Structure 1
Amino acid sequence: MLRLTRGIFPTNSVEAWKEALEKNKVVMLDCFATWCGPCKAIAPILAKHSNDEQFKDVFFAKIDVDQLPDLAQDLSIRAMPTFKIFTNGEQTDELVGANPNALQALLVKATGA
């Protein structure tokens, strides 16, 4: 899973998720559901951040909690959207809810930008 372009990469399997964690120092995971209104509202903001030079060192991934319920359970997802930051394969931060300012702050904190 080499990142040749920026953007948010759909993670459609547990194996793809593990590979993303192994191959990227900092991973931002967006846990969403297709029926979730707040998820839809914040998606364009996250997409903008994924293409921002300031966050170029972050690998942006997303999982549909309805498509990967076991992974969502393993990640302790209780509400959507939930954003998780992983550094060197370990969860280091989390944001629950569609709060644009808090999302940006989470990314700034994760990258030291």
Structure 2
Amino acid sequence: MSFKPLLRAFQPAIRQATITNTTPRILTSRLFHTTLPRMTVHNIATLEEFKETIAKNQVVMLDAFATWCGPCKAIAPQIAKWAEGDFKDKIYFAKFDVDALPELAQELGVRAMPTFIIFKDGEKVDEFVGANPPALQKVLVKNLPEGVSV
């Protein structure tokens, strides 16, 4: 197998630059942009951040997940899709890693992953355990703010 086509593909990104009295250096050009991605599911890193989130937003769907949890990884794209589409600006989607914030997991009584907790006006109103998108969607629709529909 020849690597010449592969090398040709990367040649625009790699340039040799020779600086006087020094050895040649390889420079790579930036072929990506540096704008921040639009966050649809917000990551909670501290207990204070959690309290601020549920206080500021009328309806919050909190996803308690673990990085090693297969079902958590499986349902994450569906949650992101809902946050960008059907429930955008209706429900604030947030998540936290139970291993990174064990005190929050204990405070909320999380015993299995994924656990989804719905808060309305700062109060816990509903909980759903498991990676079942149709059932979770029903819970989200049930807990929409008054007068709002999907």
Size of the aligned set, in residue pairs, is 109
- Rg: which structure is higher? 2
For structure 2, which runs of at least 5 residues remain unmatched after alignment? 1-37
* Cα displacement string for residues 30-72 of structure 1 (whole angstroms, at most 9, x for unaligned residues): 0000000000000000000111144422111100000000100
Mapping of residues 31-110 of structure 1, within 5 Å:
31-110=64-143
Q: Specify the alignment match of 1:22 in structure 2.
A: 55
Cα distance between partner residues in 1 of 2:142 and 2:134? 12
What is the TM-score when the length of structure 2 is the normalising length?
0.70
**Structure having the larger proportion of residues in helix:** 1
Q: Report the residue type matching 2:143 in the other structure.
A: A
Q: Match of 2:54, SS?
A: helix
CA contact (8 A) 1:6 1:51 kept: no
CA contact (8 A) 1:29 1:83 kept: yes
- Post-superposition shift, 1:103? 1.1
For structure 1, which runs of at least 5 residues remain unmatched after alignment? none
How large is the RMSD of aligned CA atoms in angstroms?
1.2
1:102 to 1:88, Cα distance in 2 relative to 1, 3 A: same
- Post-superposition shift, 1:89? 0.5
Is residue 2:44 matched to residue 1:11?
yes
* Cα displacement string for residues 64-88 of structure 1 (whole angstroms, at most 9, x for unaligned residues): 0000001000000000000000000
Higher relative CO (Cα under 8 Å, sequence separation at least 6) belongs to 1
